[in-house]
Amino acid sequence: MNIIAVQESAPHRKLCTDCGVSRTEDPSRCGYACQFISPDYATLEQQVHGRTRGSAGDIEPFFGVVKEMHQAALKPARQGAQWTGITTRLGEALLERGEVTAVLCVGPDPEDNWRPVPRLITSAADMASCRGMRMGYAPLLELLEPAIAAGHTRLAVIGIPCQIYALRALEAELGLEHLVVIGTPCSDNTTTEHFHEFLSLLDSNPEQINYLEFMPDFHVELRFVGGAKKRIPFLQLPIADLRDDFFPLTCRTCVDYVNTLSDITVGYMGGSGEQWLLVRNQRGQDTLEQIRPELSLKAPSSSGKRASAVKGFIENTRRATGGLPLRKMPQWLRPIVGKIMPLTGPKGLEFARTRLEMKAAESILHLRRAAPKRLRSMIPDHVWKLAAPYGITPVGMKLKKTTILSV
């Protein structure tokens, strides 16, 4: 029998994504389980993967601990999936083979297909109902205690980085016999209500949109009920028309886009138009092996240069955090640049590195403005290293000491 969480408003906190820990029997655990208080990625990486990320090269400093990396597609693609359906297929396979007895994930709200609702899935056939993209906050970990109480000590969890960080911080005290964690990247989340406002800016019939994705060719793809498609170049998105609080501070300061504490991350940024798999440890590899025959796998590609794109992003972020208007490209120039970007811009792994350096800089700059006392505790060393080539460095003594830190 599947369990669905009953959504109620969580207490308002400035730096909270409502991962669900505050709704459990002991909400005080937020103090050490929250990604936005004092994250300790090195300790948790050692605990989860048996080692910490490497500091050399252009893979692990960006993407965390990696055992295998693939550009991937599920053949055939599953109907209703955001890409080809790898994430939900992994959950199905774990249930089919009896490796787990339940999968904790999110599905659509019956009243709003875009709104995520936590679900505990116990039948492989029901994983199909969880396919597709959701936008908003979901207290996924609220269902941990009901799952364990129902006897599900062999559990899989599919979640976004803030949920998975909290899960890993609590893992040792949960008493689980077996845990498999499938992570999806997350960046720039917002409330479901704000997301509906965004859709209304993209099309005159937003209620007909049933798919949206930011593609690696610098376009957003919309799909509609009935099968129609619409592609919008990034540069023509109405970002400047969004309300100031459209993206909450939590998502502007998230330091773990690629879900580094999962056993396997399923994303797309490094996939050059396909999905992107980062297998992080033996559990992740064992999980992938269950569906490997169903996958088309190849080595990720990488091309282009990221520096100019990152510098431009940082300049606009500095203006935004300083209360200045964003520099807007003239309308006549946008279609021209929009055609050039897919030809000359970063692609594949270089595109993923671009996004990670942008997120590192964005996190630091927004925290410096909104919560400067949090810089020392919230920004891990590896994030500072990503921002350093662009002149964003800590001034003072070592991080996480008692010295006052400025940027």
Verify that 322 and 384 share a domain, yes or no: yes
Whether 220 maps to a domain, the answer reads no
Q: Tell whether the model's pLDDT for residue 12 goes beyond 80.
A: no
Whether 217 maps to a domain, the answer reads no
Q: The pTM is what?
A: 0.91
Verify that 169 and 277 share a domain, yes or no: yes
Mean pLDDT across the stretch 153-174?
98
* Tens-place pLDDT, residues 291-347: 999 999 999 999 999 999 999 989 988 987 664 444 555 554 455 445 555 556 788
Q: Last residue of some domain: 300, 335, 364? A: 300
Whether 237 maps to a domain, the answer reads no
Verify that 61 and 76 share a domain, yes or no: yes
Verify that 83 and 142 share a domain, yes or no: yes
Verify that 403 and 280 share a domain, yes or no: no
The residue segments making up the domain with residue 313 are: 303-407
Closest CA to 41 of 221, 256, 202: 256
Verify that 261 and 317 share a domain, yes or no: no
Q: In what order do the strands lie in the sheet with 102-109?
A: 3-4, 112-121, 102-109, 154-159, 178-183, 264-267, 275-279, 68-74, 295-298
d(CA 90, CA 96): 10
CB 141 within 8 A of CB 19: yes
SS3 143: helix
Verify that 295 and 322 share a domain, yes or no: no
First to last CA, the chain: 52
Verify that 27 and 155 share a domain, yes or no: yes
Verify that 117 and 69 share a domain, yes or no: yes
Verify that 363 and 391 share a domain, yes or no: yes
* Tens-place pLDDT, residues 216-233: 677 889 999 999 999 998
Q: What pLDDT is stored for residue 272 in this prediction?
A: 75
Q: What are the backbone angles phi and psi of residue 43, rounded to the nearest 5°?
A: -65, -45
Whether 212 maps to a domain, the answer reads no
The residue to which tokens 């659509």 are assigned: 108
Closest CA to 205 of 188, 234, 226: 226
For the chain, what is the domain count? 2
Please provide the DSSP assignment of 48-97 as one string: HHSSPPPSSSSSHHHH-S-SEEEEEEESSPPTT-SSSSHHHHHHHHHHHT
Verify that 402 and 258 share a domain, yes or no: no
* Tens-place pLDDT, residues 89-107: 999 999 999 999 999 999 9
